[in-house]
Amino acid sequence: MSTVIAERPRELFTEAPSSLGILLRKIRRRQARVGVIGLGYVGLPLAVEFARAGFPVTGFDLDRQRAEQTNSGSSYIGDVNDQILWQQIESGRFHATSNFAELSDLDTVSICVPTPLRKTKDPDLSYVIQAVESVAEHLHRGQLIILESTTYPGTTEEIALPRLERSFLKVGEDFFLAFSPERVDPGNARFQTRNIPKVVGGITRRCTLAARALYAACVERVVKVSSARTAEMVKLLENTYRNVNIGLAKEMALLCHKFNVDVWEVIEAASSKPFGFMPFYPGPGLGGHCIPIDPAYLTWKARANGFEPRLIELAQQINSAMPAHVVDCITRALNERGKPLRGSKVHLLGVAYKRDVADVRESPALDVMHLLAERKAQLSYTDPYVPWLSEPGIELHSEPITALSQKYCAVIVTDHSCVDYREILRAALLIVDTRNSLRGFREEKIFRL
């Protein structure tokens, strides 16, 4: 693996202008017409970054409303600010559309569509397949296609390539195909699309060169790997690493509870070791479109290849048991006050899957709510980022924080940084804190995981 910072592949400028030579020249001159399919948490920031780098950019989304809202300069993604979006729209460098015929005009296309799981927990590649089919319909000589959606090793080669090669164009010569995992961390003000290194791996060496040249034009550092399959595996290692370590932190939390030791204090002290230790924290469970889902892509593919990934499975089991543990904590806390869970007013603080985002996909708060509803607790919540929740079996509006005084138990599920935790401490009768937001406070009404 080598690390490259906006390096020019020298040999390509000495040969007669091939499809690759022409594409690289267009990229260098910022004349390449760049496309992004899927304008969500990943695609919209990426499209804006391409436009800021000087490329003419077309964003595609099946959701017409999203395309229209983007064109009006109003961002629905927290990490993309309206002003920056509007600058790119107004300058004419960026526009969004649901008209896939515009793919014909483009030199590069980055695919950033969802990769969820089916009910059976198997990978659902239907969005990727649909996007690749749209690209295949308009594929032309000299085009570079990059898959960014997180998926199992082999997807680019086994799912995208055969569909694109139906055109009789040859990969690596007539068109270029690569995988480059998206690593964006919504809500992270320090690391955003531009300063998160981008890993690229192509189907052929020329595909890698083309993808590397494109991203080197708009992100600070590009890391080249030997194949698309390797790049796919890199992303799954990163997210599985988090999943397994969070599982370990959660198991430590359960153990510490047995030993009457504060797990948060243990992690904080262990973090003082300057090497060989990286802190991961327990919490109410895993959420979002990545950490709970991506390892399932890996385990599915592992099994299809006759390999049983035991450690990853175990971490998944520990993580998915956490919402039930939170409900046990709530039940115990109420019990100590002589109250049954049934009929008690339980108020969740934060329902987004993590701090400072509005995303509730796979949020552990939803599992906690379902379990509480099954046990007939009276549910309510406050989340400044999520004004209402409409889930099967849950239809609720966020209540003002002042409502807390009328509830019996407050449960801190998501630790948004705009919340005044002292006020919560004052207003609540009983608090279950799954995030250690009330560190330093020793009041008897606080129960920790």
Ligand X SMILES: NC(=O)c1ccc[n+]([C@@H]2O[C@H](COP(=O)([O-])OP(=O)(O)OC[C@H]3O[C@@H](n4cnc5c(N)ncnc54)[C@H](O)[C@@H]3O)[C@@H](O)[C@H]2O)c1
Residues belonging to the active site: 290
Q: Quick one: which segment of 48-56, 177-185, 208-216, 326-334 binds ligand X (CB under 6 A)? A: 177-185
Rule CB under 6 A: say whether 40 interacts with ligand X. yes
Q: Which of 234, 104, 244 is nearest to 156 (CA)?
A: 234
**Smallest distance from the beta carbon of 421 to ligand X, in angstroms?**
25
Rule CB under 6 A: say whether 409 interacts with ligand X. no
**Strand duo 222-224 + 2-4: pairing:** antiparallel
Rule CB under 6 A: say whether 315 interacts with ligand X. no
Do residues 350 and 383 lie in contact, with contact meaning Cβ atoms separated by under 8 Å? yes
Rule CB under 6 A: say whether 45 interacts with ligand X. no
Q: Quick one: which segment of 101-109, 176-184, 367-375, 424-432 binds ligand X (CB under 6 A)? A: 176-184
Distance CA 197, CA 244 (A): 23
Q: Which two tokens stand for residue 104?
A: 């014909």
Q: Which of 80, 103, 112, 160 binds ligand X (CB under 6 A)?
A: 112
Q: Which of 49, 174, 182, 433 binds ligand X (CB under 6 A)?
A: 182
Residue type for 289, please?
Answer: H
Locate tokens 């990545």: which residue?
Answer: 290
Residue with smaller CB distance to ligand X, 39 or 446: 39
Distance CA 176, CA 135 (A): 12
What is the DSSP annotation of 348-415? EE--SSSTT----TT-HHHHHHHHHHHTTPEEEEE-TT-SEEEETTEEEEBPPGGGGGG-SEEEE-S-
**Smallest distance from the beta carbon of 139 to ligand X, in angstroms?**
15
Q: Cα 249 to the chain's mean position, in Å?
A: 21
Return the SS3 of 64.
helix
Strands (E), 305-349: 345-349
Residue with smaller CB distance to ligand X, 38 or 172: 38
Distance CA 215, CA 222 (A): 7
User: What is the number of helices (H) and of strands (E) in the chain?
Assistant: 15, 16
Q: Quick one: which segment of 221-229, 288-296, 392-400, 429-437 binds ligand X (CB under 6 A)? A: 288-296
Rule CB under 6 A: say whether 240 interacts with ligand X. no
Q: Quick one: which segment of 10-18, 61-69, 279-287, 434-442 binds ligand X (CB under 6 A)? A: 61-69
Q: Which two tokens stand for residue 62?
A: 């099946």
Distance CA 205, CA 263 (A): 48
Rule CB under 6 A: say whether 43 interacts with ligand X. yes
Q: Quick one: which segment of 127-135, 330-338, 413-421, 439-447 binds ligand X (CB under 6 A)? A: 127-135
* Helix 322-336 and helix 310-320, axial crossing angle in degrees, nearest 10: 30
What residue number has its CB nearest to ligand X? 40
Rule CB under 6 A: say whether 38 interacts with ligand X. yes
Residue with smaller CB distance to ligand X, 69 or 87: 69
Q: Which of 52, 66, 198, 325 binds ligand X (CB under 6 A)?
A: 66
Residue with smaller CB distance to ligand X, 113 or 327: 113
Locate tokens 């267009």: which residue?
Answer: 26
Residue with smaller CB distance to ligand X, 112 or 372: 112
**Smallest distance from the beta carbon of 257 to ligand X, in angstroms?**
30
Residue with smaller CB distance to ligand X, 131 or 330: 131
**Smallest distance from the beta carbon of 63 to ligand X, in angstroms?**
4
Residue with smaller CB distance to ligand X, 214 or 252: 214
Rule CB under 6 A: say whether 186 interacts with ligand X. yes
Rule CB under 6 A: say whether 149 interacts with ligand X. yes
Q: Which two tokens stand for residue 10?
A: 């020298």
Rule CB under 6 A: say whether 152 interacts with ligand X. no
**Smallest distance from the beta carbon of 55 to ligand X, in angstroms?**
19
Q: Which of 382, 389, 369 is nearest to 416 (CA)?
A: 382
Q: Quick one: which segment of 8-16, 62-70, 279-287, 371-379 binds ligand X (CB under 6 A)? A: 62-70
Cβ count near 265 (within 10 Å): 12
Rule CB under 6 A: say whether 60 interacts with ligand X. yes
Q: Which of 26, 52, 212, 289 binds ligand X (CB under 6 A)?
A: 289
* 57 phi and psi angles, rounded to 5 deg: -120, 135
Return the SS3 of 259.
helix
**CA atoms within 13 Å, Cβ hemisphere of 142:** 17
Contact characters 356-395, ligand X, x per CB under 6 A: ----------------------------------------
Do residues 263 and 252 lie in contact, with contact meaning Cβ atoms separated by under 8 Å? yes
List contacts with ligand X (CB under 6 A). 37-43, 60-63, 66, 112-115, 127, 130-131, 149-150, 182-184, 186, 288-290
